[in-house]
Amino acid sequence: MDSTSQTAVFHGGVDLAAGVGDAVVAIGEGTVAFAGEQPDYGLLVVVNHAQGLQTRYAHLGAIAVQPGQVIGKGDRLGQVGQTGTPSLAQPHLHFEVRLNSPLGWIAQDPQGYFSMPSQLPVADGSPAARAQRLVPY
């Protein structure tokens, strides 16, 4: 649900509750394909991984990497912010996993590609979700 228009919209990733300034780290090794600003995503880092996988980290407040940079699991990509057009009013990391296909980059369920703690806070706009913090990957 879009918090501004209150309409249902496709959401290609997950919103993880976090605080402004929290570190955003890579879930795995790869090469930074994009690090900059895009209208809806705001400050965005895109990392290409092996086997045609790509991860996207959006609504950042600062970026700590450059396009072409090789990164490892746990390397700092930037920090949480509130840039772009987030679907929620509270600070969060918008995270996507995409798979390269003949049709382009197709959004995937992030839980199908790596182990997420069962209690990882998902930002949903509720007071309880607001109080939770993002657990480092």
* pTM of the full structure: 0.78
Tokens of 80: 């949480």
CATH topology of domain 14-111: Glucose Permease (Domain IIA) (2.70.70)
Give the pLDDT of the chain (137 residues) as one tens digit per residue.
344 455 545 567 888 889 999 999 999 999 999 999 999 999 999 999 999 999 999 999 999 999 999 999 999 999 999 999 876 678 999 999 999 999 999 988 887 766 555 444 444 444 444 334 333 33
Where do the domains of the chain lie? 14-111
Are 60 and 83 spatial neighbours (Cβ–Cβ below 8 Å)? yes
Would you call 107 exposed, middle or buried from its count of C-beta atoms within 10 A (0-12, 13-18, 19+)?
middle
**d(C-alpha 49, C-alpha 33), whole Å:** 10
